[in-house]
Structure 1
Amino acid sequence: MVAATADPSGEHVRAGTPPDGWEPLLAWWDERRAELRAAFDTAPDTPAWQPFPSYDPVVASWARRQAHEAAMHRVDAELALGTATVAFPPEFAADGVDELLTMLVYRRADWSEFTAKGSVLVHAEDAGRLWSVRLAPGEPPQFDEQPFEPALTVEGTADDVYRALWRRPSTAKVTGETALLEPLTPP
């Protein structure tokens, strides 16, 4: 992320190589964390290279992507500990659903492996959000403004739908042809 703001063109963005040894590694991570916080302290519209072609090349896009990545890793850690997991507010969870459905799934360069055909309705009830998705073999999902008769429905609270689509334990109600979820799998 820091390299992305330093070089918004992305021409010279390279992943850093962590040092060997525990103590140097911890210090290296602390330096990266401080740099990341400084990068996020810039204006949301600060130019920043994006590895995801469907994202705006600005810091705000990195913040959104990292917020949802961290949220799912937090759920994973809590599940691994056997403790109760955080409940995400409806607006945040609905944004995570939106990010996955309308942004991340387009990261795939090749849709030829997907053969699903049908319609999916995703409904985050407490957030008042609907996503109507049409799937065709070998093509990225298409989104409709209006709901339709779906072959698969995923519905519940925004938090439950968020978890279900990100393949985490959830009490979202999933009815219909569950094979239609495959093209919507997080990358």
Structure 2
Amino acid sequence: MEIERLVQTLSVEGHALARAAEEAGTEAKVPTCPGWQVRDLVRHTGMVHRWATAFVADGHTSYHPDEGLPDLDGAELLSWFREGHRRLVDTLSGAPADVECWSFLPAPSPLAFWARRQAHETTVHRVDAESALGGAPSAIAVDFAVDGIDEVLRGFHARPKSRVRTDAARVLRVRAEDTDAVWTVRLSSEPPACERGDTAEADCEVAGPAAALYLSLWNRRPFPRVAGDSSLATLWREKSAVTWG
């Protein structure tokens, strides 16, 4: 996806997250993140925004630690979040296309990486904030959800730290039914190997609308449909969590 579109999505989603958090109240529980209250969600996402901004704004070419979580709550916390979100959007919007800085997943450029990563980070956490209000989350565009599925399967879980592994070789297929996007995920004792397309016979297929699959792969909702060996869908839900740090 184009960087401009990703940054615009980041802007919209950050504002929506703040609105939902304000409406729910920072003491509200977050059903999609068991054990968290809205204050935890806002602190975490605001910290990540500042952490990402520093790489692009300051040109860190190696890993740089975050600044930790703020001891803020209520209106003061939401103001802090909005300020950091605005700075991230402004930094990505104003950065030169050839900016050099550290990143941790394959991308056409560091700027493309950070725009994509923060757009998806903020979208998933916007859904978390809306879950504190109850009801269905706001819509996610099909092409953006497809891009997010790509990032999860071919980015995060291609890394050595992925725990989604099987003793014997197995194949998981992910099919977005409202578009032609299909992924084949080969599971083994090594990190998952994912490719686009229906390239191998699957032991299990998870299918549904792209936005629903996107949230399912981030463990925000059950898979819409599972066919074949459901233990692979269970494996995903039990082992795929991406943790901070």
Q: TM over 0.5, yes or no?
A: yes
Asked if residue 114 in structure 1 is aligned to residue 165 in structure 2, the reply is yes
Q: Normalising by structure 1, what TM-score?
A: 0.80
Is 1:122–1:155's contact at 8 Å kept on the other side of the alignment? yes
Distance change in 2, residues 1:168/1:109 (3 Å): closer
Partner of 1:4: 55
Taking structure 2 as the reference length, what is the TM-score of the superposition?
0.63
* Pair 1:49-2:86 in alignment: no
Amino acid at match of 1:76: D
Letter in 2 for 1:115: T
CA distance in 2, matches of 1:24, 1:77: 17
How big is each residue's C-alpha offset from its partner over 1:118-155, in whole Å with a ceiling of 9 and x where there is no partner?
10111112221010111112x01123455222111011
How many residues align? The count is 183
Name 1:72's counterpart in structure 2.
124
The corresponding residue for 2:152 is 100
Q: Kindly indicate whether the alpha-carbon contact (under 8 Å) linking 1:55 and 1:103 is maintained by their aligned counterparts in 2.
A: no
Does 2:181 correspond to 1:129? yes
| Stretches of structure 2 lacking an aligned partner (at least 5 in a row) | 1-51
Distance 1:46 1:163, change over 3 A: same
Distance of aligned partners of 1:171 and 1:101 in 2 relative to their CA distance in 1, 3 Å threshold: closer
The CA distance in 2 between the partners of 1:186 and 1:72, in whole Å, is 13
The question of whether the paired residues in 1 share the 8 Å contact of 2:162 and 2:240 is answered with no
Deviations 1:21-57 (A, max 9, x none): 668766655553343122111245432311x254555
Note closer, same or farther for the CA distance 1:31–1:114 as it changes in structure 2 (3 Å cut): same
Deviation at 1:115, TM superposition (A): 2.7
- Residue 161 of structure 1 and its aligned partner are, at CA, apart by 1.4
User: In the aligned structure 2, how far is the partner of 1:9 from the partner of 1:24?
Assistant: 32
1:141 aligned residue (192, 197, 201): 192
C-alpha change, 1:45 and 1:88, in structure 2 (3 Å) is farther
**Residues 68, 186 of structure 1: alpha-carbon distance in 2 compared, 3 angstrom cutoff:** farther
3-state SS, counterpart of residue 183 of structure 2: strand
State how far apart, in whole Å, the 2-side matches of 1:81 and 1:88 are. 18
Classify 1:65/1:186 alpha carbon distance in 2 versus 1 (closer, same or farther; 3 Å).
Answer: farther
Counterpart amino acid of 2:175?
A: H
Fraction of identical pairs, as percent: 34
After superposition, what is the alpha-carbon deviation per residue over 1:33-91, rounded to whole angstroms, capped at 9, x for unaligned?
343122111245432311x2545551221111111111111222222211221121110
Query: Could you tell me how far apart the structure 2 residues matched to 1:124 and 1:90 are?
Result: 9
Give the distance between the partners of 1:91 and 1:21, measured in 2 at CA.
36
